[in-house]
């Protein structure tokens, strides 16, 4: 069995397979990078990162940690774009979007080069995630499992799409995997007095995404639970001074390593403060100006601030975190409290759905992936039933994935992006790789190849369009906008391709083009094209509830704006053509054309 399972480890095959996998990953990633226009949040992350590096201030894009965007902006120190720093001290102002609009608007000529340099830094996070998911799977289930997990990571459309964008989601995915793996390794070996490597890995994860803050509590608690079920003889020897009292000794043994881990997180706090330049570290809790109801203590008027702790018992307590990190968490909480318009399956409402991310994963994850994940989960559960173990470290990847998705789903103020649960993907791939020990090696590889065949066909026919993937149960990429909106269908990747389409088809006039957004003035790319417009003129004919276009002609619409309620006119229309899944071309023959359903 071992020889069959590890046949991919043979020296004659492994180098070739590694080279082939690397070339495939590089090709898919490179095409995604060069074919994509600037993405909405990406255009804010990049100048914000440069702003941090040049000014040392952290008051831009405070709702996300600064590390990924600072790394991405390093090449711009050598090839600096035109941009002036201006900021507001208001807790309600997002300075980064002011930077974004100016950066893109004033640098259209060189923007593609800037995007190439900055996006190139994301490849490091992609490779880190690939290494961790492969190594962890190999150590759990053998070499064959490592290859299965590596292939799942390499060809997953959401992983590719987010690795080609400067944003915190892919870095959070890779760094979270690293933190989980380092913790798992320490939990098995317990070699050092204090697990400083775990603390550093957790700091790395938190500095990529605030969502990983739960590890600061979750990992010590998990250690306590694990040690409560599995005796720690080495720890027991160190605690002989407790005597023979069974209850006290058992509790102390279970809590010993949990306490060590908790104390080691002092390094985590130190590294977080170091990344922020110790900006406002140690500020007393009563001195902050909060805007969220949770921290301000009341529902304040927009533009005002308050502090529920001011004048209280805890007002004097110094907060061991950077001030801008605290303000970022406060702003995030305020956004969730306010809520935002959310879209799901053709319906808009204020606030989201608790099941949104589960549904988004169901339609955005390839079916073959779900088959492998289900098989791995089923085998894990069956093994648990046979052996009767209550808790095993083999469950750790699945447990982290479940907790992460649950915590994200709990925040229903707005549910926009499947990328918010992307950090759970790598852990699910590890679970899926367990098929390598359930089936004989050749069958496991054959099953993985079959399950990946549909995904590989998609990549072959949609080069550079990984972000548009929807599985056949959702109707495929061309119908993705009927299920989800925002970055799930088009985050701005379509901009350059839409411009190229308009210029290559001068016979399609008049032409109205609706880009992902107006951020950075994308209409300037079409300023020399006659009879091309970038906004729809609507009117209300008598007896018609929803507006219709004022003029007939061609309408090229990005995947995001076609989902907007204001463009409902197009919802039940059949596109004359879809140049790409994230851009739809309509022909309006008469302004009396109306939707079949007005509800």
Over residues 192-220, the pLDDT tens digits come to 678 999 999 999 999 999 999 999 999 99
Tokens of 379: 């085998």
What is the extent of the structural domain holding 578? 487-588
Backbone angles phi, psi at 486, to 5 degrees: 55, -140
Q: Is the dihedral of CA 425, 430, 432, 433 positive or negative?
A: positive
CA distance 183 to 45: 30
Beta-carbon neighbour count of residue 556 at 10 Å?
A: 24
Direct distance between the N- and C-terminal alpha carbons of the chain, in angstroms, rounded to an integer: 61
pLDDT at 402: 97
Name the pTM for this structure.
0.92
Give the list of residues 6+ apart from residue 81 with CB closer than 8 angstroms, or none: 47, 50, 103, 106, 107, 110, 114
pLDDT at 249: 61
C-alpha to C-alpha distances, 127 to 202, 278, 520, nearest whole angstrom: 19, 30, 31
Beta-carbon neighbour count of residue 322 at 10 Å?
A: 25
Does some domain include residue 549?
Answer: yes
CA distance 60 to 411: 23
Helices (H), 74-142: 95-105, 111-120, 122-141
Q: Which residue has the tokens 């993907």?
A: 425
Does some domain include residue 90?
Answer: yes
Total count of domains within the chain: 2
Ranges of beta strands (E only) in 1-108 are none
Q: Is the dihedral of CA 403, 404, 409, 412 positive or negative?
A: positive
pLDDT at 443: 74
The residue among 70, 102, 120 that closes a domain is: 120
Q: Is the dihedral of CA 274, 276, 277, 278 positive or negative?
A: negative
- Residue 4, judged by CB atoms within 10 A of its CB (0-12, 13-18, 19+), counts as middle
Does some domain include residue 519?
Answer: yes
Does some domain include residue 239?
Answer: no
C-alpha to C-alpha distances, 170 to 124, 173, 176, 177, nearest whole angstrom: 10, 5, 10, 11
The residue among 85, 120, 155 that closes a domain is: 120
Q: Which residue has the tokens 């805007």?
A: 291
Give the list of residues 6+ apart from residue 521 with CB closer than 8 angstroms, or none: 101, 104, 105
SS3 421: helix
CA distance 469 to 146: 25
CA distance 512 to 534: 5
Instruction: Please check whether residue 91 is in contact with residue 139, taking contact to mean a CB–CB distance below 8 angstroms.
Output: no
Tokens of 255: 């809590």
pLDDT at 539: 85
pLDDT at 230: 67
Beta-carbon neighbour count of residue 218 at 10 Å?
A: 18
The residue among 90, 120, 150 that closes a domain is: 120
pLDDT at 231: 56
Does some domain include residue 293?
Answer: no
What torsion, rounded to 10 degrees, do the Cα atoms 256, 260, 263, 264 define?
A: -170
CA distance 409 to 402: 10
Q: Is the dihedral of CA 519, 525, 528, 533 positive or negative?
A: negative
48: nearest Cα among 121, 101, 112:
101
> What's the DSSP call for residue 276?
T
**Chunked in runs of 10, what are the mean pLDDT values of the chain (599 residues)?**
42 68 88 95 96 94 96 95 85 90 93 96 95 94 90 96 97 98 91 85 98 96 82 51 55 78 94 95 94 87 86 91 96 94 96 97 97 93 72 86 96 95 98 86 77 94 96 96 97 97 96 94 94 90 80 95 94 94 93 46
Does some domain include residue 273?
Answer: no
Give the list of residues 6+ apart from residue 161 with CB closer than 8 angstroms, or none: 32, 466, 467, 469, 493
Helices (H), 56-106: 67-73, 95-105
Instruction: Please check whether residue 35 is in contact with residue 139, taking contact to mean a CB–CB distance below 8 angstroms.
Output: no
Tokens of 432: 């899926």
Tokens of 412: 């229903």
Does some domain include residue 458?
Answer: no
Tokens of 148: 């299965």
Does some domain include residue 84?
Answer: yes
SS3 572: coil
């Amino acid at each position: 069995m071992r020889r069959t399972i590890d046949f991919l480890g043979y020296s004659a095959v492994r180098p070739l397979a590694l080279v082939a996998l690397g070339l495939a990953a590089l090709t898919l990633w490179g095409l995604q990078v060069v074919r994509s226009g600037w993405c909405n949040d990406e255009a804010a992350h990049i100048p914000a990162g440069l702003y941090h590096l040049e000014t040392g201030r952290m008051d831009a894009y405070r709702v996300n940690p600064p590390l990924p965007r600072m790394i991405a902006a390093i090449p711009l120190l050598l090839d600096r774009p035109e941009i002036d720093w201006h900021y507001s001290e208001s807790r309600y102002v997002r300075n980064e979007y002011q930077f974004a609009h100016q950066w893109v608007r004033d640098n259209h000529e060189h923007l593609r080069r800037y995007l190439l340099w900055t996006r190139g830094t994301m490849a490091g996070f992609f490779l880190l995630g690939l290494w961790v998911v492969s190594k962890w799977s190999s150590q759990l289930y053998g070499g064959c499992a490592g290859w299965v997990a590596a292939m799942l990571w390499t060809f997953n459309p959401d992983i590719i799409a987010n690795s080609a964008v400067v944003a915190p989601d892919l870095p959070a995915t890779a760094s979270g995997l690293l933190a989980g793996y380092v913790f798992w390794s320490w939990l098995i070996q317990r070699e050092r007095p204090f697990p400083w490597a775990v603390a550093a890995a957790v700091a790395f994860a938190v500095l990529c995404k605030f969502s990983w803050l739960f590890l600061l509590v979750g990992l010590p608690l998990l250690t306590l639970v694990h040690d409560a079920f599995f005796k720690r003889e080495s720890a027991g020897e160190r605690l002989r001074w407790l005597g023979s009292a069974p209850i006290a000794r058992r509790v102390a043994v279970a809590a010993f390593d949990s306490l060590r881990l908790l104390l080691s997180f002092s390094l985590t706090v130190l590294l977080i403060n170091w990344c922020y330049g110790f900006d406002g570290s140690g500020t007393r809790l009563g001195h902050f100006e909060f805007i969220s109801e949770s921290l301000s203590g009341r529902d304040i008027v927009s533009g005002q601030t308050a502090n529920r702790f001011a004048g209280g018992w805890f007002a004097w307590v110094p907060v061991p975190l950077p001030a801008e990190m605290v303000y970022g968490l406060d702003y995030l909480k305020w956004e969730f409290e306010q809520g935002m318009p959310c879209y799901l399956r053709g319906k808009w409402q204020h606030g989201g759905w608790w099941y949104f991310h589960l549904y988004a994963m169901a339609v955005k994850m390839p079916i073959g992936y779900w088959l492998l994940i289900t098989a791995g989960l089923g085998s894990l559960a069956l093994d648990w039933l046979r052996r009767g173990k209550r808790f095993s470290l083999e469950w750790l990847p699945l447990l982290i994935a479940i907790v992460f998705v649950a915590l994200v789903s709990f925040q229903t103020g707005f549910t926009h992006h499947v990328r918010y649960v992307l950090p759970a993907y790598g852990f699910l791939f590890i679970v899926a790789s367990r098929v390598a020990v359930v089936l004989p090696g050749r069958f496991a590889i054959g099953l993985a190849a079959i399950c990946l065949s549909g995904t590989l066909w998609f990549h072959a026919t949609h080069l550079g369009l990984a972000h548009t993937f929807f599985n056949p149960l959702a109707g495929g990429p061309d119908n993705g906008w009927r299920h989800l909106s925002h970055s799930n269908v088009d985050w701005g990747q379509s901009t350059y391709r839409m411009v190229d389409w308009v210029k290559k088809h001068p016979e399609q006039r008049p032409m109205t083009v609706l880009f992902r957004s107006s951020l950075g003035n994308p209409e300037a790319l079409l300023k020399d094209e006659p009879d091309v417009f970038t906004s729809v003129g609507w009117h209300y004919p008598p007896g018609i509830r929803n507006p219709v276009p004022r003029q007939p002609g061609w309408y090229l619409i990005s995947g995001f704006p076609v989902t907007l309620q204001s463009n409902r006119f197009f919802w039940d229309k059949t596109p004359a053509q879809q140049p790409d899944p994230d851009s739809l071309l309509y022909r309006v023959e008469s302004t009396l054309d109306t939707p079949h359903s007005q509800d």
